[in-house]
Homo-oligomer: A and B are copies of this chain.
Amino acid sequence: MASPSPADRRLVEEVCAGQRRSIARAMAVAESTAPGKRALCALIHRRAGRAQIVGITGVPGAGKSSLVRALAQRIRAGGRRVGIVAIDPSSPFSGGAILGDRIRMTELAGDPGIFIRSMATRGALGGLSPSTHDVIDVLDAAGFEVVLVETVGVGQDEVEIVQAAHTVVVVSAPGLGDEVQAIKAGVLEIADIHVVSKSDRPEARKTAADLRTMLRLGSIGRIGSTWSIPVIATSAQRRDGIDDLVTAVGGHLAHLHATGEIAVRRRRIVEMRIVKAAEDLVREQLLVRRRDALEAVLARTLAGETDPHAAARELLGAAVGPAG
């Protein structure tokens, strides 16, 4: 890698000093595919590593956004700074703003100890992925003690994003239909903390009891951890259970450090980041930089002279090892 430019170094210092405009600018570069992006992200990555990253996921309609808002306010009340990265299109922090939720967002946006970044996913029309992890690094380097990352836990990319966290909170809502809940099944097993939202609803008690039973029977839960996964009932409206959630999030981090599990978790996060970066790099190379090569092999695939796997292998060249 080329040595970083003086401008990059200055920007990084401003980010680390917590200057909001520089944070926003660094994020814009991190989300882009600009040529200088990787040099800047490498510099920022070196300054990150102190924040607790908390992934929050659940099906649409589970009330994740209200929970994130209540959680952020409570952590702020305790004196810590909070970064929020919202990748959920239903979130008031991102796409939900379209639905008129902007008011709720500004409720937090006036606080200098809170920084909110909403990101779109690669989207329906394909293209390149935004670099969620690089954006998290910016908030981390800028000294936000907690970074909340919110996604919809349905798509596999979205689940992987939230899973690259120190602490994963899975939100279940009482009274959602079976079809919606079924989707969540695969997500339940990645939770360090379960939240049952909308605890004012009558079905909430049953949902919490069901989760506790599943945990007791071992049908969900993390292998190789001694952490006892709590089930917390919350009501963002009434602010019920939010203190318990803050305590659990802090308790989980303390557990990771006390048991040494933090090393395992950090390793897994870095592994996911490297693999994701490799995938993104390949996609970018093919769609942008090596477009001509893609076009050529595409024409031959359409003509039936080769097939998509062989075409991909050919494009990747020798770097990917012997043919399988």
Q: Interface on A for B, CB 8 Å cutoff?
A: 1-2, 35, 37-38, 41-42, 45-46, 49, 59-61, 89-90, 95-96, 98-99, 120-126, 129, 133-134, 152-160, 163, 177-180, 182-183, 185-187, 189-190, 266-267, 270-283, 285-287, 289-290, 294, 297-298, 301-302, 304, 306-313, 315-321, 323-324
Contact = CB atoms under 8 A, between A and B. Distances in A.
Contact of A89 (B35, B182, B270, B282): B182
Contacts of A189: 124-125
A310 B182 contact: no
A317 B315 contact: no
A105 to B, nearest CB: 14
Given A121-B156, A190-B124, A279 B277 contact: no
Contacts of A180: 60-61, 90
17 contacts: A38-B324, A41-B309, A42-B306, A42-B307, A60-B60, A60-B154, A60-B182, A90-B182, A124-B156, A124-B159, A124-B189, A129-B156, A155-B156, A155-B158, A275-B294, A277-B312, A279-B283
A182 B96 contact: yes
B37 A285 contact: no
B323 A1 contact: yes
